[in-house]
Structure 1
Amino acid sequence: MPKFIIEREIPGAGELTGEQLQNTSQQSCCVLRDAGPHIQWLESYVTDNKIYCVYISPDKQAIVDHAEAMGIPANQINQVKAIIDPTTAE
């Protein structure tokens, strides 16, 4: 299944408390359980004003639906075309 990177513009994201991040994570997991096994959240990276999420999903629409159910933005959704790392140079 395709992998996607979602960019969410959330002013002050880097100042969210551990409890706020936990609550958001729990809410996301509940929405994903209701959506079914076709969409999976792998991890997210929190920066000052954005959160970058990595999902496995059959398509962009499932990610849009998840964002709408959560009430959070999915400002950019990009499908991963390749993964590279230092071993790629070998």
Structure 2
Amino acid sequence: MPQFVIERNIPGLGDMDQQTLKEISAKSNAVVDGLGEPYTWITSYVTGDKMYCVHEAESAEAIYRHAREGGFPADRVTEITGLIGPHSGR
């Protein structure tokens, strides 16, 4: 199944406390459970005012649906077409 990187602009994100981030995570999980289609949240990276998430879904539209239903921004959704790392150069 395709994987996507989602860029979310969320002012003040880096200053949110763990309880608030937990609530955001719980909301995301609830939306995933209610989508009624294959969908997996892989991980998210929190930075200053942005969050970069990796999700697995059948289409970019499913990613946007998750965002709409959860009330999350999805400013850019890009399909991952390859993966490299230190191992790639060996």
**Superposition TM-score, scaled by structure 2 size:** 0.97
The number of residue pairs the alignment matches comes to: 90
AA aligned to 2:2 is P
Across the aligned residues of Structure 1 and Structure 2, the Cα RMSD in angstroms comes to 0.8
1:47 and 2:36 aligned: no
**Superposition TM-score, scaled by structure 1 size:** 0.97
Gaps of 5+ in 2: none
Over residues 46-79 of structure 1, what are the superposed CA-to-partner deviations in whole Å (9 max), with x where a residue is unaligned? 0000000000010000010000011111000000
AA aligned to 1:34 is G
Distance 2:85 2:37 in 1: 28
Identify the residue that residue 35 of structure 1 maps to in structure 2: 35
The 3-state SS of whatever aligns with 1:25 is: helix
AA aligned to 1:47 is T
- After the TM superposition, which parts of structure 1 deviate over 6 Å for at least 4 consecutive aligned residues? none
1:1-90 pair list within 5 angstroms: 1-90=1-90
Over residues 15-54 of structure 1, what are the superposed CA-to-partner deviations in whole Å (9 max), with x where a residue is unaligned? 1110000001001100100113511101100000000000
Gaps of 5+ in 1: none
